[in-house]
Chain A
């Protein structure tokens, strides 16, 4: 019985890896169109970051927000609600966090830092909650609403950091860079490795991942959320208040994305600046899917994609292909993963595939 389960999980892992490979192969075509050698490009992408301390620490710098967003996405997707609003939720979380960091009475860091995280969580939760409420009570497609809210959030954020929240120094010196004042040094997240940007955000994120795991599988609330995501009708029949749990899923998903915003302002940039969400809202989706929508699976997945994102920058310098290509490749990866699902979930597919493999390798 247990052996069967192990076989199943190995098969699933094998299929997911296979999809990654397929996506990369198709992505190679893009490199060719851009006039570069795909093999060199991929080689740089995957290995260059691992060559020095800088690269490796940068991987974890990216991994922390990715993991947090992915946690939120795993919760929401498992509850049957597709949160695409990560970008906007990160920004609103950042706004709330910046507000506390810059304008609240400056207290000791042991009070402020948790407060900033809570504020960011609240901001992201609010932003996600709008879409969640609309889905739960008005039956509005959450993908459309979260995407629209993304566009709205970008404008609100830009308006604030170009105007009311702009660094007074920028105005004084007339440089006009859209950014806020720097956050007080005491509030910065501890740097883990001297000389590099890696900060304790990753540790916070990993702790969150474990908490989410317990929440989803060991509490009655997690049980309800998973039931709603798996079979909403039966959940209603079982007495679960499905509307409320759909809303809760979006509140949590938005909240975790908001926390990613806190990590960015406290750990990396130490202020608010443009494009602070850096596409993490979308990359987080890929990370979540790659991690099997499981909070513990998201941990290695976030590191892998941290590697890819850093590698893409290095690749751009090496072979002159714009790092934008990594966005397209992430899209291909998602397509490959969701396509491979049919080979995992459809009854009897596993047997067919294994038969095929046996034939191909002559071990019939």
Chain B
């Protein structure tokens, strides 16, 4: 019985981690190029609403989930582009700009929700894929073969992003731009352009992550549904040391804790509601405190805008 519960907890953790993986991988590219986007939370909120709304309007018809996610990707990329304009082109302080983007996204999502929906409704979202025989394998079955298609796509994105970062010319440029932008510039790399590409990519993935949350995980939308996941994901990038494998590992670990804490409630242990809710944030604070030293591994110019014409 205990064993089955444990398998249940672990397999529940996998889809819970997808949001974090998506935002985290996008943010990894961002930070590797030297930019950090705290507005990811705001982008996720807009993505969550938009994805939900598209499917809702299409009444969960065929393809509506994917259309919703596509819309979220597009708007996320747009918001990422805004961040790029402000932080890369106008060289603004990235932390404050990120919070501003958070407020913008929060405001837009809140406003649109009230204007266009105004109440609690639910949608169908994506169903789990049926794998004819594989689902029945003990242990591995429920663990690996009972998830919806987005889970598998995301898990494939992880090795793909590793390839992109480490085996392509573009990935090399990203790494150079975040460590030694002046050197990269003299070697012909377009520093600002590479950074903007990363910010837009990160924005698109944050939008997708938000849409995944409302479409595939909760099947509904409410105020503050993202509950700080965007910020947690940024912390995860630090924890994962800017590597796709580290981020996946961190996301799974985090979701495991989350899933574990949820099951405790299900199994009737008397836990005050607020303490359970607080747990993920406390966990992040502890993680941040412990990995503060590893900032030496951070991309050297993280947070610093690049000025080409610098005179002594």
Contacts and interface: CB of A to CB of B under 8 A. Distances in A.
Contacts of A328: 103-108, 111
Interface of A is mostly: helix
A151 B91 contact: no
Nearest to A316: B114
B285 A143 contact: no
Contact of A134 (B42, B104, B107, B292): B292
Interface in B258-312: 272, 274-275, 277-278, 281-282, 284-285, 288-289, 292-293, 295, 307
A335 B288 contact: no
Nearest to A326: B107
Interface string A136-172: 0011110111011101100110110000000000000
B90 A332 contact: no
Nearest to B42: A331
A327 interface: yes
A210 interface: no
Contact of B228 (A148, A326, A330): A148
A34 B92 contact: no
B81 interface: no
Contact of A339 (B90, B95, B107, B275): B90
Interface stretch (A96-104, A251-259, A317-325): A317-325
Contacts of B285: 134, 145, 148-149, 152
Contact of A335 (B100, B106, B107, B274): B100
B136 interface: no
A155 B231 contact: no
A140 B234 CA distance: 13
Contact of A331 (B103, B288, B295): B103
Interface string B213-240: 0000000000000011001101100100
Interface residues of A, number: 46
B134 to A, nearest CB: 39
Interface in A78-111: 82, 84
Nearest to A151: B281
B254 interface: no
Contacts of A35: 115
B96 interface: yes
Interface string A288-324: 0100000000000000000000000000000001101
Contacts, number: 149
A33 interface: yes
B288 A338 contact: no
B108 A335 contact: no
A152 B284 CA distance: 11
Contacts of A338: 86, 90, 92-93, 96-97, 100
B112 interface: yes
A332 B104 contact: yes
A334 B110 CA distance: 19
A134 B92 contact: no
Given A325-B107, A331-B101, A331-B102, A138 B91 contact: no
Contacts of B93: 338, 341
B9 interface: no
B82 to A, nearest CB: 7
Contacts of A156: 274, 278
A256 B274 CA distance: 26
A342 interface: yes
B125 interface: no
A254 to B, nearest CB: 15
B274 A158 contact: yes
A325 B281 contact: no
A152 B281 contact: yes
Given A334-B96, A338-B92, A324 B114 contact: yes
B286 to A, nearest CB: 10
Contacts of A33: 112
Contact of A322 (B114, B275, B284, B292): B114
A282 B103 contact: yes
A69 to B, nearest CB: 14
A331 B285 CA distance: 25
A327 B235 CA distance: 25
Given A151-B281, A335-B82, A335-B86, A324 B289 contact: no
Given A144-B284, A148-B231, A156-B274, 10 more contacts: A140-B289, A144-B231, A147-B231, A158-B274, A159-B275, A328-B105, A329-B107, A331-B42, A332-B100, A334-B96
Interface of B: 38, 42, 82, 85-86, 90-93, 95-108, 110-112, 114-115, 227-228, 231-232, 234-235, 238, 272, 274-275, 277-278, 281-282, 284-285, 288-289, 292-293, 295, 307
Interface of A: 30, 33-35, 82, 84, 134, 138-141, 143-145, 147-149, 151-152, 155-156, 158-159, 282, 285, 289, 321-322, 324-335, 338-342, 346
29 contacts: A30-B107, A30-B111, A33-B112, A34-B111, A34-B112, A134-B285, A134-B289, A139-B292, A144-B235, A147-B38, A147-B228, A147-B231, A148-B232, A148-B282, A149-B281, A151-B278, A152-B281, A152-B282, A156-B274, A322-B111, A324-B107, A327-B106, A328-B104, A332-B100, A335-B82, A338-B86, A338-B93, A339-B85, A340-B90
